[in-house]
Amino acid sequence: MVADTLTQVVSDDVHVERLLNGARASGIRYRRRRRLTIVAATALAVAAVGTAGALAAAMLPATGNMAAAPTPITDAPSAPPSVRPTATAADLTQTMTQLPALPPAADAPSALSDPAQVGRPLLIHLGLDVLPFPVRNVQYLASSDGERLYLQGKAATLTVRLSRSTTDFEPLAGTQQPVVVNGHPGKFAYDESHSGIGTLRWRVANGLWLQVSGSLDRTAALAVGNGVRLDRTYRCAVPFRLPSTPAGTRVESCTMTMYAGPARGAGLTIATGGSYVTFTTDSGYGAAIREPNETLGSRPAEVIEHPGDKGRPILEINFAPEADTMVLMTAEGSYNGSVVRELAATLQWLGGSDPATWPENPVAP
C-alpha cells in the first residue's frame, strides 16, 4: 500500500505553519538573490519534514503623507521564527482520509483548459483523487511560481508541486528511471542518501509540470501521481480583509492549512515595489498575546523590531482579533513602520472555520 511506503518519521510537536514561516523567509531571500541577477518571488526548497518551503515577508514603502521609506533592499533578511501557539492534543491525534472541501472559484478555468491560470496567487488547481495515508493536516500554497500541496500524517509527509516550469523544483537526485504517469512520460528518482526520498516528475500535454516527492518508492509515487487532479479550480482564501493598502499593492502568495481538528491556518504575502509583508493566522490553539506593548486600532498588540540578516531591521506585530486566534505579521526590507502598523490597525477580521465565507479578494483595489 502507498501508506506503508511513506515511512518518514515526523515528531509529534511539528506545526506546519511554524515550519513554513522560516521556509517562507528563506525562500524569498533565495528568490531575490536570483532576481538580482533577475527573476520573480518565492520559494527555496527547504527539507523541513520532507516538505518544501514557501514564501516570505517584508513590507510596503510609505505612500501619501507617511514618512518616506528607505531605499528598497532586494536581498531582504529572514526573521527568526516567532513563538507560535502549540497544537492541542486533539489536533495531533485526529486524522482525515480525504481532502477538505475548498471554496470553488466560480467561472475560473481549470489548469487543464488554461495553463496560464497557474501562478495566480488566489487560485488553487491541485487536487488528489485519494489521500495516500491518513493526514493530520493539509496545506495549500499558491504563488506566482505555481502551487504546492503538503500532506502531513502521523509518520509521513508528501509534497505535490505544479508549475509552468521546473526552474524552482528540487533537482532529481539519486538513481533515475523513465516512467509513464497518466499516459505522459516522466522520470522517477530515488535518493537513498536522504532516508529514501522518491521524486516523480512529469509534464502534461498542455506544458504544465508536476512533481510528487516524499518517502516513497516507484510504485507508491506512481499511485499518487496517477491520482493528481487538475480539472477543478478553487479559491485560496484568508479570514480577513485589508481595506486600506498603498497603491500598487499586489498579492504574492496565499496559503491555507486545514487540520483534522477544529484548527485552521492561513497566510498571505503582499508586496509593493520591492517590499513585502506576510500575515499568518492561527485559529484553534488557545492563542494569546504574551506581552502587548502597543495598541493598534482597538487591539492590544505585541510589536517587536529586531535585526535580521546583515543587521537589517525586521518588524513583527502579533495580535489576537478574537479569542483563540492569532494574527502574526512580519515586515522586512524597506518597510515603513507607520504603514505596517496601519495595516494591523485596519485589518478587518472575518473569522470562521469555513473558507467559503472568506473574501474572494482580501486586498483593497
CATH of the domain at 220: 3.40.1000
Number of domains in the chain: 1
Who has greater pLDDT, 91 or 138? 138
Could you tell me what percentage of the chain is helix, strand and coil, using 3-state DSSP and rounding each to the nearest 5? 15, 35, 50
Instruction: Name the pLDDT band for 94 (thresholds 50, 70, 90).
Output: confident
| Cα-to-chain-centroid distance, residue 362 | 16
Query: Strand pairing of 197-203 and 209-214?
Result: antiparallel
Among 67-71, 105-109, 253-257, which stretch is predicted with the lowest mean pLDDT?
A: 67-71
Who has greater pLDDT, 160 or 354? 160
Residue pLDDT, tens place only, 95-116: 999 898 899 998 899 999 999 9
Do the beta carbons of residue 267 and residue 254 sit within 8 Å?
yes
Residues 277 and 315: their CA atoms lie apart, in Å, by: 9
Instruction: Name the pLDDT band for 350 (thresholds 50, 70, 90).
Output: very high
The grid cell for 246 is 498603498
Residue 282 lies in a domain: no
Chain position carrying cell 485589518: 347
pLDDT of amino acid 272: 83
Residue 353 lies in a domain: no
Do the beta carbons of residue 211 and residue 181 sit within 8 Å?
no
Query: What percent of the chain has pLDDT above 70?
Result: 73
Do the beta carbons of residue 269 and residue 251 sit within 8 Å?
yes
pLDDT of amino acid 160: 97
pLDDT at 91 over 70: no
The grid cell for 252 is 504574492
pLDDT at 165 over 80: yes
Closest CA to 345 of 316, 314, 313, 319: 319
Q: Say which residues have a Cβ less than 8 Å from residue 239's Cβ, sequence separation at least 6.
A: 264, 266, 281, 283, 349, 350, 351, 352, 355, 358
Residue 196 lies in a domain: yes
Do the beta carbons of residue 115 and residue 124 sit within 8 Å?
no
pLDDT of amino acid 213: 95
Do the beta carbons of residue 305 and residue 313 sit within 8 Å?
yes
Instruction: Name the pLDDT band for 315 (thresholds 50, 70, 90).
Output: very high
Compute the average pLDDT of residues 225-251. Answer: 94
Give residue 171's domain range.
2-52+114-229
CA distance readout (Å), 113 to 104, 125, 140, 204, 293: 16, 11, 21, 12, 51
Residue 181 lies in a domain: yes
Half-sphere exposure of residue 5: CA atoms within 13 angstroms, side-chain side? 20
pTM for this entry? 0.76
Residue 189 lies in a domain: yes
Residue 272 lies in a domain: no
CB atoms within 10 A of CB 323: 9
Residue pLDDT, tens place only, 37-48: 222 222 222 223
Do the beta carbons of residue 229 and residue 235 sit within 8 Å?
no
Instruction: Name the pLDDT band for 24 (thresholds 50, 70, 90).
Output: very low
pLDDT of amino acid 93: 73
Residue 31 lies in a domain: yes
* 3-state SS, residue 73: coil
Residues 166 and 248: their CA atoms lie apart, in Å, by: 29
Closest CA to 279 of 347, 337, 364: 347
Residue 260 lies in a domain: no
Residues 82 and 77: their CA atoms lie apart, in Å, by: 15
Closest CA to 99 of 156, 137, 125: 137
Per-chain mean pLDDT for the chain: 77
